[in-house]
Amino acid sequence: MNVKEALAFADEVVFAKTGKHLDDMQVGVIEGVLKRQKYGDIAQALNCTEGYAKDVGYELWELFSDAFGEEVNKLNLRSALIRKSRISNVTGGVITGHHVTHNHVIGSVNICTSQEESPEFLRGKQRAKMEAIQRLQAIGLSDEQIAQCLDMTLEEIRQVDLTE
């Protein structure tokens, strides 16, 4: 998931939750966090105080935590967005808490493996796959259908089943 895709999904989640799109300051904070910048650098780029950038971030983390049903903060924003966007794309809506809001979905998100991905990122990716598989099994899809939906092999689906 690149920064542009993450911002689009974050905007979709915020809109589903509040009825408002991200403003410039919120976009700047999310973009800075996704680029692993410190609040001081984010504030400088946004021409505001570090304290204000932190306040904007705090409000966003609270909103995402509420929408996703899990704690979201500066350190896990990327992995939370990846997990929830994968589930959202599979279910055809935006995850808000424990419910799925069906509205405009912004395409599929391609998650590419690179050597720069951290172990935390890779664990988040694996967790997202497991959550998606469990949700699809819960609605009655076969392993073959799940493999097709998630563009995975049948063997990969069955390996995830065994690790639960």
**pLDDT by residue (tens digit) across 4-32?**
888 888 899 999 888 999 999 999 999 99
CA angle, 57 as apex, 112 and 64 as ends, to 5°? Answer: 60
Q: How far apart are CA 4 and CA 19, in angstroms?
A: 21
* pLDDT for residue 114 is more than 50: no
Residues 6+ apart with CB under 8 A from 110: 1
* Structural contact between residues 86 and 132, judged by C-beta atoms closer than 8 angstroms: yes
Segment 79-106, tens digit of pLDDT: 888 888 776 554 444 444 444 443 333 3
Measured in whole angstroms, the distance separating CA 31 from the mean position of its chain's CA atoms is 13
pLDDT band (50, 70, 90) for residue 50 = very high
Average pLDDT (37-41) is: 95
Average pLDDT (117-127) is: 71
